[in-house]
């Protein structure tokens, strides 16, 4: 069964609000406990055999006038909290950086040829799929992160490597994190400030 078809059987996180080739923003309800972490790999299955992979680089919760008013109340009952999280039209916005795609189960660490469309569903990458993507090739998807100067590159890479390392270790792959760090050192050898920021964040994440 194709990866995209498998994903469609899972529980999606949210649906696409807007997108470009480089990234997309997905809306989801606040109540969903399965909101993935910052730095996690996600995927957007499209037509048969084609799906886009991305990294979550921002999770944004919009306020509105009523919420601003509710926070001034002494006590906010549980039913009011649930009403605002489940019923009211103020989704959590998840920003995703596209880092690759797969076509007929072959993974490419390149920008997707076509962006996803409105209301396409976003799914979390299960450990097998995350490991499959991150160990394909030679960390080519890091360059999409390093190119995104407006993002907190060090924090994003550290969070991603920490999460992915757990998946790889669970599968007996103990060298994945050190290989990833070595690759980053090579990629950033001419950019000392960014390299220091990335290595510092990796140290904080417990990746030496």
Within 10 angstroms of residue 118's Cβ, the number of other Cβ atoms is: 9
Contact status: 119 vs another protein (CB under 8 A):
no
> CB-wise, 66 or 119, nearer to another protein?
66
- The whole-angstrom separation of Cα 153 and Cα 148 is 7
* Least distance CB 167 / another protein (angstroms): 33
> CB-wise, 33 or 47, nearer to another protein?
33
- Per-residue binding string, another protein, 49-78, x by CB under 8 A, is -----------------x--xxxxxxxxxx
Taking CB under 8 A as the binding criterion, the range among 84-92, 101-109, 175-183, 193-201 that sits at the site for another protein is: 84-92
Count the residues of the shown chain that bind another protein, applying the rule CB under 8 A.
Answer: 19
* Least distance CB 30 / another protein (angstroms): 12
Interface with another protein by CB under 8 A: which residues? 31, 66, 69-80, 82-83, 86-88
């Amino acid at each position: 069964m194709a990866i995209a078809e498998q994903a469609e059987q899972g529980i999606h996180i949210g649906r696409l609000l807007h997108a470009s080739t480089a990234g997309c923003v997905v809306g989801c309800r606040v109540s969903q406990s399965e909101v993935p972490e910052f730095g996690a790999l996600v995927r957007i299955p499209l037509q048969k055999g084609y799906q886009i992979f991305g990294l979550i680089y921002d999770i944004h919760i919009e306020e509105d006038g009523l919420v601003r008013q509710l926070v001034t109340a002494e006590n906010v009952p549980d039913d009011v909290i649930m009403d605002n999280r489940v019923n009211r039209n103020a989704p959590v916005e998840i920003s995703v950086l596209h880092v690759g795609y797969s076509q007929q189960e072959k993974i490419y660490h390149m920008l997707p040829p076509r962006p996803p469309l409105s209301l396409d569903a976003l799914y979390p990458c299960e450990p097998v799929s995350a490991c499959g993507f991150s160990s394909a090739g030679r960390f080519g998807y890091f360059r999409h992160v390093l190119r995104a100067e407006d993002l907190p590159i060090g924090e994003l890479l550290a969070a991603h490597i920490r999460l992915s390392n757990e998946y790889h270790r669970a599968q007996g792959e103990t060298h994945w994190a050190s290989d990833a760090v070595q690759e980053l050192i090579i990629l950033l050898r001419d950019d000392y400030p960014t390299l220091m920021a990335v290595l510092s964040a990796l140290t904080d994440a417990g990746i030496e």
